[in-house]
Amino acid sequence: MKTLEWRDNKLILIDQTKLPDELTYFTCNNYIDVIIAIKGMVVRGAPAIGVAAAFGMALAYLEDESLEKVAEEIKAARPTAVNLFWAVERTLNSDNPVEEALKMYHEDIDTNLAIGNVGAEIVNDGDTILTHCNAGALACVDYGTALGVVRSAFNQGKDINVICDETRPLGQGARLSVWEMQQEKIPVKLIPDVAAGYLMQQSQIDKVIIGADRVARNGIVNKIGSLMVALSAKHFNVPFYIAAPISTFDKNISIYDTEIEYRNADEVTHYGGCRICPVGTEVINPSFDIVPKDLITGIITEKGIVDPLKLKKFIQDLD
């Protein structure tokens, strides 16, 4: 089973809120179910959100809804990952949203395999790679971007070790990335987010590879905590790579103009269902942060590795 599948005119999703303890599925019978799944993070990760949104448009088309109206509703589900907006526009402008969504589904898999092949070149035998959040198969239709690079390097026979940041508050690293690596017996260790800097200082990390929710001319936006990892990596001269498909690139804005999603306080006040702070504690819970291009070594895409110094030109030249 892939992260999402289209069966009998329904969208079936792996319910990521239940992993790693239960591998269960969430069925979207209509486009409203897709919005609920995206908002509730049943499906999450920029490419997976994009393809799920495309199938949301496909369901709306089959339900004979106004696609312009539904497009606005789906776009309001989560604000930061540009893939959501890209996918909705692409299906809206197509003759048949079902066929277009299926095309995007297959393209996503091919793109990730290409990113994996391109990115494996920068991975050396013996490398220990730190990753943040989950930019794996679960964040895409399959294979993954950052973890796709890891998979390709591992499948080439390279001896690699993966370190996953826990990724508070929702624990995508602990719950999802560790689970994915364990499924394929890729050596993996979990660290608390706050340990990344120390491990770099101790020369225990050779490279960082993470995903992105948006790549713009002056940097990237990704899961909260990415900036702290990037700053540590710069300080300790650890190469810091982004792996992202072209569908995550945004021609139009500066990263500083990206809308950063703020999520519910209970994600921070509670962990695993238990309250970890006094009742009534006020919370600030930004879900993403901004990594300027001068902290980035390279951006691994299906079209090759983009030098951040040439990012502006690369984005300008995209169709």
Min separation Cβ 169 and ligand MRU, Å = 10
Nearer to ligand MRU, 58 or 147 (CB): 147
Task: Tell me whether residue 67 or residue 230 sits nearer to ligand MRU (CB atom).
Answer: 230
- Known binding residue 45? Answer is yes
Q: Which is nearer to ligand MRU, 258 or 287 (CB)?
A: 287
Are the C-beta atoms of residues 226 and 132 closer than 8 Å to each other? yes
The distance of closest approach from Cβ of residue 245 to ligand MRU in the complex, given in angstroms and rounded to an integer, is 8
CB of 258 to ligand MRU, least distance (A): 12
- Residues at the contact surface with ligand MRU, assessed by CB under 6 A: 44-47, 81, 133, 135, 139-140, 145, 172, 211-213, 222-223, 287
317 as an active site residue: the answer is no
90 is in an annotated binding site: no
234 is in an annotated binding site: no
For the bound state, the minimum distance from the C-beta of residue 223 to ligand MRU, rounded and expressed in Å, comes to 3
Q: Nearest approach, Cβ of 244 to ligand MRU (angstroms)?
A: 7
The catalytically annotated residue of 108, 142, 213, 250 is 213
Q: Is 78 part of any known ligand binding site?
A: yes
Alpha-carbon distances, residue 314 vs 166, 236, 255 (angstroms) = 33, 28, 15
The CB-nearest residue to ligand MRU is 211
- Least Cβ distance, residue 212 to ligand MRU (angstroms): 6
**Tokens at 53, concatenated:** 């949104």
157 labelled ligand-binding: no
Nearer to ligand MRU by Cβ, of 98 and 140: the residue is: 140
User: Would you say 90 or 175 has its CB closer to ligand MRU?
Assistant: 175
SS (H, E, C) the chain: CCCEEEECCEEEEECCCCCCCCCCEEEECCHHHHHHHHHCCCCCCHHHHHHHHHHHHHHHHHCCCCHHHHHHHHHCCCCCCHHHHHHHHHHHCCCCHHHHHHHHHHHHHHHHHHHHHHHHCCCCCCCEEEECCCCEHHHCCCCECHHHHHHHHHHCCCCCEEEEECCCCCCHHHHHHHHHHHHCCCCEEEECHHHHHHHHHCCCCCEEEECCCEEECCEEEEECCHHHHHHHHHHCCCCEEEECCHHHECCCCCHHHCCCCECCCHHHHEECCEECCCCCCCCCCECEEEEEHHHCCEEEECCEEECHHHHHHHHHCCC
* CB-based contact 164:188 (threshold 8 Å): yes
Which two structure tokens, joined as six digits, stand for 82?
Answer: 């540009």
The residue among 57 and 139 lying less far from ligand MRU, judged by its C-beta, is 139
Task: Tell whether 222 is in a known binding site.
Answer: yes
Binding-site positions read 44-46, 78, 172, 222-223
Q: Catalogue the active-site residues.
A: 213
Binding-site positions for substrate read 44-46, 78, 172, 222-223
